[in-house]
Amino acid sequence: MQRLVIKYFDCMALTRKLEIVLTERDSETRRGLFKTILQWRAEGIRMANELLSCLYANDRLRPSGNSERYCVIHPEYAGETVSLPGCVLECLFRQVVLKYESQKENLMCGKSSLLSFRKNMPLPFVCDSVRIELDSMTGRYFVILSGIRFHIILGRDRSKNKVILDKCIQGEASICEASLVIDDSRKKTYLLLGYNCTSAREELDHNRFVLAMLGAEAPIIARFMGNGREFEIGSKEEFQHRRVQIREALKRAQSAAQFNGGGRGRSRKLLLISRFRSKEREYVRNKLHLYSRILIDYALKYRCRYIILDKENREGAISGKSHLLLNSWNYYDLQKYISYKASLYGIKVQPNNTEIRLKDKIQIGKNPIRNIV
């Protein structure tokens, strides 16, 4: 393997999802704090929807460019008392305005409808009101949001969140955004921590590129144009076998649902079925992450500047007999994951119909190098 030379560093923002719990031991105090957070979320959703409607109404009723825009979310104008902190109001106002400006053109043309904020909306906080602490005695991490203290649950920490928290505490990584999300279905609270990090860019060759296709015999077929040899990422047998197992487990749960106890009604009887409905899609998404990581490593091995994704092979495989492999195998999700990982190393991802043209039509199926993951 050829040794790569680091050319320069680039700064980019990443987000980590961390589970947090209140640190108060008194049940009454903890219940009161959680009730306050729920009240903040309800008020934030209402204010965000009102502000979005106000912005849209101002643009519709005042077409003149010289007219002043009036957007009011301060509670004294509505005659109400709002307990939402000022740091949350500031971030909420900024995010709603930016989101509205991004879809304003489509709104005025009638191509899209007005966005509506729901209960899954993250509650943003100003970076100055977020503080991360480490207890040296117990080794536990805490985060303070507007004076409310939470304990960060790391678990097995396979994503190395502890390293990120240590960098934020030591000042090596700066916090650029923080949001609080309450999952009502799982009854859990999460912290969306955005931080700035430096990514190492490699010295890549602009004349080299890798062609990646979705194949029927393998999830991804990659080909480096320098040597003309194929590299199969993933296994057809393993990929199909796991998905068939998930489908059979769902069928068993459906047939056994009539014998389940319905002490709490319909949701209690169908609890096991609800757990399996999204299992297959989650499995495909996890495989997309794994295979996209392998594809990026393959491109770095040959110092390729571009990764070209071919969609034609996917459409041809679907029209054939082996469509089971490509069911729920999303080309656009794969492009999204590859583009995200490629941006960390300065690799550009482009479709096959861009300005980079292949001199000769590539015939998939000759001299493959099977790499079963």
pLDDT tens across the length of the chain (373 residues): 333 333 334 566 788 999 999 999 899 999 999 999 999 999 999 989 999 988 888 887 755 444 454 444 544 444 555 578 888 888 899 999 999 998 888 888 888 888 889 888 999 998 888 999 999 889 999 999 988 999 999 988 888 899 999 988 988 888 888 999 998 888 899 999 998 876 555 677 788 888 888 766 777 888 887 666 788 888 878 777 888 888 898 888 888 887 777 666 677 777 778 888 888 888 888 888 898 999 998 888 888 888 888 765 544 444 444 555 556 566 778 888 888 888 888 888 887 654 444 443 344 444 444 443 4
Asked whether 80 and 96 are in contact (CB, 8 A), the reply is no
Q: Taking the domains of the chain in order of start, what are their residue ranges? A: 6-26+123-201, 35-61+69-109, 204-255+272-371
CB atoms within 10 A of CB 80: 8
Q: Are strands 205-213 and 304-310 parallel, antiparallel or unpaired?
A: parallel
Beta-sheet pairing, 148-153 with 174-183: unpaired
> What is 6-26+123-201's CATH number?
2.40.280
Tokens of 7: 């050319």
Neighbour order of strands in the sheet with 368-371: 348-351, 304-310, 205-213, 220-224, 230-233, 368-371
Q: What fold characterizes domain 204-255+272-371? A: Nucleotidyltransferase; domain 5 (3.30.420)
Closest to 135 in 3D by CA, of 156, 154, 115 = 154
Look at the block and give the residue holding tokens 């009102």: 50
**Scanning the structure block, which residue is given the tokens 């999700």?**
333
Cβ contacts of residue 86 below 8 Å, gap of 6+? none
Residue type, 270: L
Evaluate if pTM is beyond 0.85.
no
CB 178 within 8 A of CB 192: yes
193: number of Cβ within 10 Å: 25
